[in-house]
Amino acid sequence: MAKRFLPPVTRDRLFYFNYEKNPKPINVTTLIPTTLAADFKTNHPFHIKTSRRLAQFDPTKLHWTVTSPVDLSKSALVRRTVARRVREAFRQELRLAGWNDDGRRRAEGGQDGIVRSFDLSGALRLNLVKEPFAVTATSEEVRESASFAVKTLLGLYNKDKRQDTRPDRQHSGRKGSGDRGKREETQSVPIRRISHR
């Protein structure tokens, strides 16, 4: 499970996010009702349907979702509208950077015309902050936050790709230095705070 850091709220931060590099079918994007329906110990009416859907999970894609807390607004319509604005802005920024919604490369490339050499994968959950400015943010502020989130995601993704290709360090004879460069395969990437001002 990804670690979540709750950064101090500032005016320019609309959301924070959780990212898992190697997701399993139940990951940070999975909602609690889906997890309960997938549990084989319960007699949930959607257990079979949910189990089949989770069995078709593709870990080579980028799975992402936007969630808005109940404390953001009493109105479900407002919460859905704010989440939809962030979702559309993030989708647009992914396309401008050269990837589709699921993290696959676009044939025509990004805004710069360069076709990307790799696909994005993992599980990403964008969590809106429960502050009033998340509701009143302009479309330009939402777009800037989404752009910063895509750049941060690419930074985390490229950093992990470099660490995965780096050979493990040899034991130098010092105590405890033999396993310094090793990482578990299921370890999730620590989340960085989003701040772009």
State whether the Cα torsion 177-181-186-189 is positive or negative: positive
pTM score = 0.72
**Sequence-distant (≥ 6) Cβ neighbours of residue 180 within 8 angstroms:** 169
Q: Is residue 113 part of a domain?
A: yes
Point out the least confidently predicted range of 14-23, 63-72, 152-161, 170-179: 170-179
For position 171, what pLDDT does the model report? Answer: 44
| Residue labelled with tokens 């898992």 | 20
User: Does the structure show a pLDDT above 80 at 147?
Assistant: yes
Average pLDDT score over residue span 151-179: 61
Q: Is residue 145 part of a domain?
A: yes
Tell me the C-alpha distance between 88 and 28, whole Å: 20
User: What total number of domains does the chain contain?
Assistant: 1
Point out the least confidently predicted range of 83-97, 105-119, 134-148, 174-188: 174-188
Q: Is residue 125 part of a domain?
A: yes
Q: What's the CATH code of the domain at 68?
A: 3.30.230
Structural domain of 123:
15-24+62-165
For position 108, what pLDDT does the model report? Answer: 75
Q: Is residue 39 part of a domain?
A: no
Point out the least confidently predicted range of 21-25, 34-38, 170-174: 170-174
Q: Is residue 178 part of a domain?
A: no
